[in-house]
Each structure stands twice: as C-alpha cells, then as structure tokens.
A and B are shown apart, each in its own frame.
Chain A
Amino acid sequence: ELKVEQNPLFLSMQEGKNYTIYCNYSTTSDRLYWYRQDPGKSLESLFVLLSNGAVKQEGRLMASLDTKARLSTLHITAAVHDLSATYFCAVDITGALNFGKGTSLLVTP
C-alpha cells in the first residue's frame, strides 16, 4: 500500500523567512504533484514533477523530486502572507493520485 507522508503538518512562519516542506512516499514513482488549497476552496495545481531530478519554480515556491530517495521538497523563499494555505503532495502509481495529509502553512507579519 502506497503511503505518502508530509512534514511538517503545521507550519507557522514569519514573513520574509525561508522554509522547506517535505514529502516522502513508500513506493517507486516518478510522477509527483503539488497542490494548494485555500480554506473552503478546491485544490489548485502548483507543480507537476515527472522525472528524477526535476525542479520547478513559480514565484516564491520551488519544488524538486528525488525518485531514488522517494522524496519531494517544496521550498518557500521569503514568505509572504498570501502563501498561507494548505499544501498537498500527491503521488501517482496507478493512474490515480494518492495524497498526503497536507501541510497547513500560516505566514505571519
């Protein structure tokens, strides 16, 4: 059974600081996705990582994938309040995505 684990589950950080969210998964896969969810809203796709060593950046967020370590990271640079949300990683091994529990991020002044 595929397990997808994120840490931390909760993160409070000050504006301007940097931090990394980790996503570990238990079964070989080279397809990993990051999503953002705002309270009461649906999921918004952030990144699609489809090969070992893939790195993608959008604004203050950068995602990477190490398939050998079964690890993806989501790095936040110089956080701003607008980044407050819940971030999910998801792994595809059967055609459907298996999600982690999410990291709830709060960026404070």
Chain B
Amino acid sequence: GAGVSQTPSNKVTEKGKYVELRCDPISGHTALYWYRQSLGQGPEFLIYFQGTGAADDSGLPNDRFFAVRPEGSVSTLKIQRTERGDSAVYLCASSFSAGAGELFFGEGSRLTVL
C-alpha cells in the first residue's frame, strides 16, 4: 500500500481480555517498528523487526506483550490479560531497512482498557 496501515483504529476492551493489533508496512520496507504513545508523551519504543526476526524487543514492558512478523511483511502485536495501564495509542512504523533512514508511521491503534 501507499502508507503504513494499522487496524483496528480503535479498540475498546475489558480488563483481562486478549487483544491483537495489526500493522501492514509500506511495500518493500524490511524494518517494522512498534511504539506506544500515552497522552502528552513521546512514542515509547517496544520492539522492531528486521525481516521476520525481532532485532530488538527490549522495550516490551512484560511477558504479556508479544509481537510476530512471520512472513516479513504484516506484523501483529499481541497483548494478553490486558490491564488499564495498557491504554494508549499503539503506533507502527516501517523503514527501508533498520538504521537506514526515517521511519514512516501509521495512524495508530487507540486501545482503551476498561
């Protein structure tokens, strides 16, 4: 596609539920990133992929968070046993290659945990 596509754009869930957020990067981009942004804060790094493998997952806050990119294109961020503190906008970005230039961001998925 022309840009980074994220679905859903909004997700409301109850505490304890499981959530999946999807990201479709720009065609040809090998690096894919997940960030989380809370109100009034800068984006907080979670994980990035170079191809199919997670190159750096040091930003994942705990083992409830997991991300995959099985075919080196679309990625899914998975959150188990959601907590109210997980409420944020989850941003996905892609770039031609890791460390090779600017990241292009999607519109984000707003997650609200009640």
Interface of A toward B, CB cutoff 8 Å: 4, 31, 33, 35, 41-45, 48, 88, 90, 92, 94-102
- CB atoms of B45 and A95 under 8 A apart: no
A45→B43 CA distance, assembly (Å): 14
Q: How many residues of B contact A (CB 8 A)?
A: 25
Closest beta carbon of chain A to B23's beta carbon, Å = 12
The prevalent SS among residues of A at the interface is strand
Check if B45 sits within 8 Å of A96, measured CB to CB: yes
A-B contact count (CB 8 A): 54
Chain B's closest residue to A47 (CB) is B102
Give the distance to chain B from A88, nearest Cβ to Cβ, in Å.
5
Whole-angstrom CA separation of A42 from B104 in the bound complex: 10
Whether B102 pairs with A33 at a CB distance below 8 angstroms is yes
